[in-house]
Amino acid sequence: MDTNAPRPAGARRVYTAEHEMFRTQVRRFFEREIVPHHRDWERAGIVPREVWLKAGAEGILCPMLAEEWGGAGADFGYSAVIMEEIGRTNATGVGFPLHSDIVVPYIEEFAAPEKKREWLPRMARGEIITAIAMTEPGMGSDLKAVKTHARRDGSDWVINGSKTFISNGQNCGLVVVVCKTDPGAGRRGISLICVEEGTKGFAKGRNLEKIGMHAADTSELFFDDVRVPAGNLLGEENAGFSYLIRNLPQERLVIAIRAAASMEAMLERTIDYAKGRTAFGQTVFDFQHNRFKLAELKAQSVMFRAFADQCLALHMDGGLSIEMAAMAKLMGTEMQNRLLDDCLQMHGGNGYMADYEIGRAWADARVGRIYGGSSEIMKEIIARTL
């Protein structure tokens, strides 16, 4: 892909003309394959695997993956376009970014060559859906507290433990398990080991019922003497924590980019609603308080978009720091929650109804302040640089 193609006049500077051409393709896919069905998937609690296969066939999965493994070898801007379309349509059940931009990069960078050949092309096609299993019951954001452990037994690893709140947990065909391989070494004793669906002793628990993001399958996972080949280890033994820390800025930028797109889309729809809804003989928009509130929200949305685009540009140039990513994630999710709450209020009673998109977006957004590192953790990361 030609990432140096000129930008259209008036376009955001972070994207090229080719990025925008790709956006047209992605938007058409979402309007055809995602939007008409997402409410049904919310009721079912899961997105059908066939949708992943369709996305793979359209080149919407793993755009940054090298061409030799079935990807497009594109820059992160193409992934960002997909995230923005998810935010624009509030298609929060579609776990493409977790798969493409969080889990698959671990496989591409750290898996053994034979495992890359076996797994990566199938991941690009949507035949293998991935997850990463970090969180455990009672653990929260503290990775040092991981209790799931793996011991070496001959040419195998044997894994025991449990995980919870695992996104893509029901659909996953392969999960990267964060586990202790040196229990006495704290964070320096953590490794990443891949477990495939169907492996003896690996069980998926119930699909967890959440207050939002109902179409996103989120599961408990259990490992009972799960035996996998030694070659399923990613990278070096006991180096898993450093790998996780290195990839966290991209994960947090993913969340921030989606928050920015969600704010823009839901604000636009709220403005349209306010102009069309009448109360006390005039439109909701005609009340000065409401116009001023919408103006304030517009200013906030535009301001955060400028910062998110700056972070995106930095990341595409390899310069996004851990603290900048934390700032983007912190401010994006906090602003998104406040903005959507104000937009819901503008809808009155309709805003509280699940049939209205704003109510679903409001509930879906709440987890943004928790996953990927809570807002409190983001503040701690930023505070260390002061």
> For 181-191, how does the pLDDT look when each residue is reduced to its tens digit (9 = 90+)?
998 888 899 99
| The predicted structure's pLDDT at residue 138 | 78
Residue 196: which of 129, 99, 136 has the closest Cα? 129
Asked if 290 contacts 282 with a C-beta cutoff of 8 angstroms, the reply is no
Q: Dihedral (C-alpha) 64, 369, 366, 219: value to the nearest 10 degrees?
A: 60
- Six-digit token pair at 216? 């996103």
| The predicted structure's pLDDT at residue 4 | 56
| pLDDT, tens digit, 9 for 90 and up, residues 47-74 | 999 999 999 999 999 999 999 999 999 9
Asked if 65 contacts 104 with a C-beta cutoff of 8 angstroms, the reply is yes
Instruction: Give the least confident one: 10-14, 104-108, 253-257, 370-374.
Output: 10-14
In the predicted model, what is the mean pLDDT of residues 298-326?
A: 97
For the chain, the residue count is 386
| pLDDT, tens digit, 9 for 90 and up, residues 231-288 | 999 999 999 999 999 888 999 999 999 999 999 999 999 999 999 999 999 999 999 9
Residue 287: which of 300, 274, 276, 299 has the closest Cα? 274
Contacts of 207 (CB under 8 A, 6+ apart): 45, 46, 169, 170, 217, 218, 219
Q: How sure is the predictor about 144, in pLDDT bands with cuts at 50, 70 and 90? A: confident
Task: Tell me the β-bridge partners of 194.
Answer: 176
Q: How sure is the predictor about 143, in pLDDT bands with cuts at 50, 70 and 90? A: confident
Mean pLDDT, the chain, rounded, equals: 95
Give the CB-side neighbour count of residue 200, counting CA atoms within 13 A: 5
Q: How far apart are CA 221 and CA 200, in angstroms?
A: 13
Taken in order of first residue, the domains within the chain and their CATH numbers are 17-124 (1.10.540.10), 130-238 (2.40.110.10), 242-383 (1.20.140.10)
| The predicted structure's pLDDT at residue 78 | 98
Residue 37: which of 98, 95, 89 has the closest Cα? 89
- DSSP output for 142-207: -GGG---EEEEETTEEEEEEEEEEEETTTT-SEEEEEEESSGGGGGGGEEEEEEETT-TTEEEEEE
Q: How sure is the predictor about 141, in pLDDT bands with cuts at 50, 70 and 90? A: low
Q: How far apart are CA 148 and CA 136, in angstroms?
A: 8
Which entry of 85, 108, 136, 251 is annotated as an active-site residue?
251
Asked if 104 contacts 113 with a C-beta cutoff of 8 angstroms, the reply is no
Contacts of 379 (CB under 8 A, 6+ apart): 330
- DSSP output for 244-260: HHHHHHHHHHHHHHHHH
In the predicted model, what is the mean pLDDT of residues 76-89?
A: 97
Q: What is the pTM of this model?
A: 0.93
| The predicted structure's pLDDT at residue 17 | 95
| Secondary structure (3-state) at 301 | helix
Q: How far apart are CA 357 and CA 203, in angstroms?
A: 34
> Would the CA dihedral through 320, 322, 328, 329 be positive or negative?
positive
Q: How sure is the predictor about 145, in pLDDT bands with cuts at 50, 70 and 90? A: confident
Count of C-beta atoms within a 10 Å radius of residue 57: 12
pLDDT higher than 90, residue 6: no
Residue 221 — φ and ψ, nearest 5°?
Answer: -130, 140
| The predicted structure's pLDDT at residue 284 | 96
State yes or no: is 376 an active-site residue.
no
Cα–Cα separations (whole angstroms), residue 66 to 47, 246, 313: 26, 19, 21
Q: How sure is the predictor about 38, in pLDDT bands with cuts at 50, 70 and 90? A: very high
Asked if 27 contacts 81 with a C-beta cutoff of 8 angstroms, the reply is no
| The predicted structure's pLDDT at residue 10 | 54
